Amino acid sequence: MPWLQLRIDATEDNAQQLSDVMEEAGAISVTLEDAADQILIEPDAEALPLWSRTRVVGLFDAASDVEPVKARLRALLGRERLPGLQLKVIEDQDWGRAWMDRFEPICFQNDLWVCPSWRTPPDPNACNIYLDPGLAFGTGTHASTALCLEWLGEQGLTDKEIVDYGCGSGILAVAGLKRGARRAWGVDDDPRALAVSAGNAEKNEVSANYRPVPPESLPPGLQVDIVLANILLAPLIALAPRLTALVKPGGNLVLAGILKDQVSSLRPYYEGGFDLAVRTREEWAMLAGAKRAPCD
Ligand SMILES: C[S@@+](CC[C@H](N)C(=O)[O-])C[C@H]1O[C@@H](n2cnc3c(N)ncnc32)[C@H](O)[C@@H]1O
C-alpha cells in the first residue's frame, strides 16, 4: 500500500509545533531531518539538538486528505505558502527501507537498549529489545515512548501482569516482559500493530507470555498490575472508564502521548481513582500513579 509523504521546511523554533500538528492530524509517523537528510534521533531529550534548518516529514495513509493538515500548518505559521512544501507518494517497500536506514540503537537507563532487529546490539550483555517497527509506531525515539520506558525501568516487574493499550510496535509490552513481567497484553485497534507487535515479541523470545488482542477481545473483568497507554489526548479521555477498570486496586496506570499543556485537560478524568504524578520530556507529558483502594 502506498503512503503520502508531506515535507516542509522548519526552523529551530517551530519544528516541534509543526511536528505536533502532523501527529495530531493522524500522521503515521513524523520525523525531523536536517538539511543533509539525517534523521534526528537523540535519547537524551534534554540535550536535544535541532538544526537551524530542519525539515518536518509526516507520513500519512495514502487515502488521507492532507488539505486540512496543510491548512492547520499554514495557520500555525501565519503564512499563505508552506515553505519548501513537498508532497509525494511513497511505496510501502521504500518506507520500510527508510526506517531501516534511520533507526539506530538507543540506550535507556544504562542497561536497557532498544535495538533495530537487523543491527548487532552495542552491549550484548544489556537488556536488549530487538525491534522491527514495520508500519507500527514505537521505536523509543519518541519522547512519550521514552518516558514510558524510563518509568517501566524503575519498577519491580517480576510476576506482574501488564496491559500495553495502544501497543503499536509492542515496545512497552516487550520491555515489560524482558524485565520479568509474567504476562503482557498488547491492545491495539490497528490490526497491523497487533501483527508487528507479535513479531517483535517473537524476536525477543517473549511471545509465550505476550497476548496481542483487539480492544474488544480483552477478557471481560480483566484487572492487571500495570496499564500503560501511550495514545493521544482524545482517546485517553474516551477510554478513561475502561483503563480505570483495567487496573487492580494498588496497581499502576501510566498515561502518555499528551502535550504538557494537555495535562490539565486529562487529569480530571482519572484523578478520582488514581494518585497521579506528572513527568515531562520535550513538549510531552506522562501521568503515572497508583490506583486507590475503594476505601482510601
Ligand atoms: C503513539 S502509538 C504508541 C505505540 C507504543 N505503545 C509506544 O509507546 O511507542 C499509539 C497506538 O495506539 C493505537 N490506538 C489509538 N487509539 C486507540 C484506541 N482507541 N484503542 C486501541 N488502540 C488505539 C494506535 O493504533 C497506535 O498503534
Rounded to the nearest whole angstrom, what is the distance from the C-alpha of residue 180 to the centroid of ligand 1? 23
Contact (Cβ atoms closer than 8 angstroms) between residue 276 and residue 288: yes
Q: How does pLDDT run across 127-150, given as a tens digit for each residue?
A: 899 987 665 566 667 888 999 999
Using an 8 Å Cβ cutoff, are 7 and 19 in contact?
no
Q: Are 8 and 55 in contact (CB under 8 A)?
A: yes
pLDDT classification of 74: cutoffs 50, 70, 90: very high
Among the ranges 36-45, 55-64, 127-136, which has the highest mean pLDDT value? 55-64
Q: What is the mean pLDDT of the chain?
A: 85
- Closest-CA residue, ligand 1 atom 1, reads 231
> Residue 296: what pLDDT?
57
Average pLDDT for 112-116: 87
C-alpha of residue 198 to centroid of ligand 1, in Å: 15
Q: How confident is the model at residue 34 (pLDDT cuts 50, 70, 90)?
A: low
CA of 257 to the centre of ligand 1 (A): 9
Q: Which atom of ligand 1 is nearest to the CA of 164?
A: 6
Q: Note whether 140 and 146 are within 8 A (CB).
A: yes
Q: Which residues contact 124 (CB under 8 A, 6 or more apart)?
A: none
In Å, the largest CA–CA distance within the chain is 59
The answer to which of 21-30, 235-244, 259-268 has the lowest mean pLDDT is: 21-30
Q: Is it the case that residue 151 has pLDDT exceeding 50?
A: yes
140 φψ region: left (φ > 0), alpha (ψ -120 to 50), beta (else): left
- Which has more pLDDT, 138 or 223? 223
> Is 209's pLDDT higher than 80?
yes
Angle CA 285–257–107, to nearest 5 = 80
**Owner of C-alpha cell 539506530:** 104
Among the residue ranges 44-53, 62-71, 158-167, the one predicted with the least confidence is 44-53
Domains, the chain: 3-101 (3.30.70.120), 137-291 (3.40.50.150)
> How far from chain centre, in Å, is Cα 175?
13
Any atom of ligand 1 within 6 Å of the Cβ of 153: no
Residue 255's φ and ψ, nearest 5 degrees, are -115, 125
**Contacts by residues 118-126 (CB-CB < 8 Å, ≥ 24 positions apart):** none
Q: Where does the pLDDT of residue 28 fall: very low under 50, low under 70, confident under 90, or very high at 90 and above?
A: confident
The rounded distance, in Å, linking the Cα atoms of 209 and 201 is: 9
For ligand 1, say whether the CB of 162 is within 6 Å of any of its atoms: no
Amino acid at 141: T
- Would you state the pLDDT for residue 101? 54
> 165: CA distance to ligand 1 center in Å?
7
Q: Please report which confidence band the pLDDT of residue 55 belongs to, taking 50, 70 and 90 as the band edges.
A: confident
For residue 16, how far is the Cα from the chain centroid? 16
